[in-house]
Amino acid sequence: MAAPTQSKLVRARAFTHTPSFSKLWRYASVSVVSTVLSLGLLYMFFRIAKVGPAWECNVYATAIATVPSYYLNRTWAWGKSGRSHVMREVVPFWVIAFVSLVLSTGAVDWAAHEAHVISPTHQVQTLLVLLANFVTYGFIWIVKFLLFNRYLFTDARSQDGVEAVSTTADL
């Protein structure tokens, strides 16, 4: 029984030295930065500045955090340089971002509504709003990685499903 477990461990360790793992690690790092920025802005807009209802604050926070997310994902996670291709990268990224925004805004609005039932304090409402945003993007995270990796930030030669050889040393 020990041999199959060791074999899985060896494969897992080997995977950590692959270009795919490096890309996944960088994507996760960008997601952490984007999440911290988005949640920080949502907290600031909803709890501190009280800009408007939770859904409106979520729209502002997500829209702002999505801009650096695009550039960090494109340049650092996927190692792309040069001008972005509008139809292959920019438009699909923003469509995915918009769908994600709609899902998270719906979750945040629902959480804000339910928070009023649970507690009258703005502190509890803020916590539930932030949690709704975080959980929604947690579910979306894997789908976005697969879409970015397969369709958005790929080489035109790799559109047939075979990953193109990268000229970047760490990819």
pLDDT of 70 strictly over 80: yes
| Cβ proximity of 27 and 148 under 8 Å | yes
Percent of the chain at pLDDT > 90 equals: 49
pLDDT of 93 strictly over 80: yes
Domain extent listing, the chain: 18-158
Instruction: Give the Cα separation of 42 and 65 in Å (integer).
Output: 10
Of 164 and 83, the one with more pLDDT: 83
Q: What is the pTM of this model?
A: 0.76
pLDDT tens column, 98-118: 999 999 999 999 999 999 899
pLDDT of 166 strictly over 60: no
The pLDDT of residue 4 is 61
Average pLDDT over residues 45-63: 97
**DSSP state letter for 44:** I
Give the 3-state secondary structure of residue 120.
coil
Give the 3-state secondary structure of residue 121.
coil
Instruction: Give the Cα separation of 34 and 28 in Å (integer).
Output: 10
Instruction: Give the Cα separation of 163 and 149 in Å (integer).
Output: 9
Structure tokens at 30: 């960008």
Instruction: Give the Cα separation of 96 and 90 in Å (integer).
Output: 10
Residue 146 binned pLDDT confidence (cut-offs 50, 70, 90): confident
